[in-house]
Amino acid sequence: MSPRPEAVAGIAIDARSVCVALLSAEGDGQALHAIEVRELPKPLFEAPPTAVDEASLAEALQGASAALSGKFAAVRVVLPDTVIRSAVLDLDDLPKTEEMRGALLRWRFAKEWQRPEDALECRGAELGEDRGKKVYFGQAADRQWLDSVKRALATAAIVPWSLNAAAVSRFNCFHDDMVTGAGGALLALDAACWNLQVWDAQGRVRRVLTRLRVAGAAEYESIANAVERAILGYVHEAGGRAVDSLYLNGGEDEVAGLAAVFKGRLRESAIWLRPDAKVAGSLAGMRTGLAPLALAAALGG
């Protein structure tokens, strides 16, 4: 029998910083033990990785993860949704082999991303059927950056139990809060992008939308308009679809700004999902920056 981890850690990496959230067992739940953030000297993910990028990331990971030293911890790592992209495909027929499915995903994401197919690493999962279509969830990552991140983690002596997109970690973290037998949507804000996930009454993700953020006085209004169009497009695409609730996640101030914009557009207020509400304890910075995402990673994988 494998020993049970004594702690759980979530590591969130974005272009400019690294955040580690460490949880320890407390009674039947978990307590927030530490939040550490390290800034990066040069933004990542904007160009192919260099040895300097990798070394800087490894150094930041080592510094932020000092609280893990000597602990047997389950470590879950998340990358931005612009680095690991996600999509849901509705197919007449599912390719019969894993090789054929991988080829389909590489073609699909290479077209969207304007990258060579062999530059992408892809994976997928079947989500059943809907109105005669096979529902297939796919992900793609830039192979060079993915390999560079993995090497930086190894240099920092971190062995991740999982490495996934921010969207997946959030969906897993808040699944039981959101998936209640009705369709819904989750809008999340990160430093560089925002992400929308829409699911059906069976709890299957049916739409994923990621867009780069554009700073400006009307940014939240612009995001709300795009989200509204995406949700209405999904609902009107086929009969019997509905999105009953909109959930929000991100830094405290930004969620408040978004919630205010949606207040006049929705029958019911958008619901702020806070990962810190799921753990005991309180630490400075747990609701700002990358901390909410690192906490979601720790809790949801």
| Same domain assignment for residues 135 and 181 | no
Q: Contact at 8 Å (CB) between 136 and 88?
A: yes
Q: Which of 10, 6, 1, 2 is nearest to 169 (CA)?
A: 10
Distance separating alpha carbons of residues 172 and 231, to the nearest angstrom: 21
Q: What is the CATH number of the domain that holds 196?
A: 3.30.420.40
| Same domain assignment for residues 197 and 274 | yes
| Same domain assignment for residues 136 and 227 | no
| Same domain assignment for residues 137 and 186 | no
247: in domain: yes
Q: Please list the rounded mean pLDDT of every run of 10 residues in the chain (301 residues).
A: 80 98 86 95 96 98 92 94 96 95 97 94 95 95 97 97 96 95 96 97 96 92 96 91 95 94 87 95 92 95 65
74: in domain: no
Instruction: List the beta bridge partners of residue 78.
Output: 12, 164
Distance separating alpha carbons of residues 52 and 31, to the nearest angstrom: 36
**CA atoms within a 13 Å half-sphere pointing along the CA-CB vector of 179:** 17
Helix (H, G, I), strand (E, B) or coil at 56: helix
Give Dmax over CA atoms of the chain in angstroms: 56
Residue 27: predicted pLDDT: 76
Element (H, E) at 235: helix 219-237
125: in domain: yes
| Same domain assignment for residues 221 and 269 | yes
Domain count, the chain: 2
pTM score: 0.94
Residue 221: predicted pLDDT: 95
Instruction: List the beta bridge partners of residue 141.
Output: 84, 121
Please state, in angstroms and as integers, the Cα–Cα distance from residue 225 to each residue in 94, 95, 141, 192, 232, following that order: 34, 36, 28, 18, 11
| Same domain assignment for residues 254 and 195 | yes
251: in domain: yes
Residue 4: predicted pLDDT: 77
| Same domain assignment for residues 136 and 206 | no
**CA atoms within a 13 Å half-sphere pointing along the CA-CB vector of 189:** 24
Both tokens of 140, joined, read 């793609």
296: in domain: no
| Same domain assignment for residues 181 and 273 | yes
| Same domain assignment for residues 183 and 238 | yes
Q: Contact at 8 Å (CB) between 292 and 250?
A: yes
Residue 71: predicted pLDDT: 83
238: in domain: yes
Neighbouring residues of 215: CB distance < 8 A, sequence distance ≥ 6: none
| Same domain assignment for residues 183 and 250 | yes
| Same domain assignment for residues 101 and 189 | no
Q: What is the CATH number of the domain that holds 129?
A: 3.30.1490
Residue 1: predicted pLDDT: 54
122: in domain: yes
Q: Which domain holds residue 104?
A: 84-141
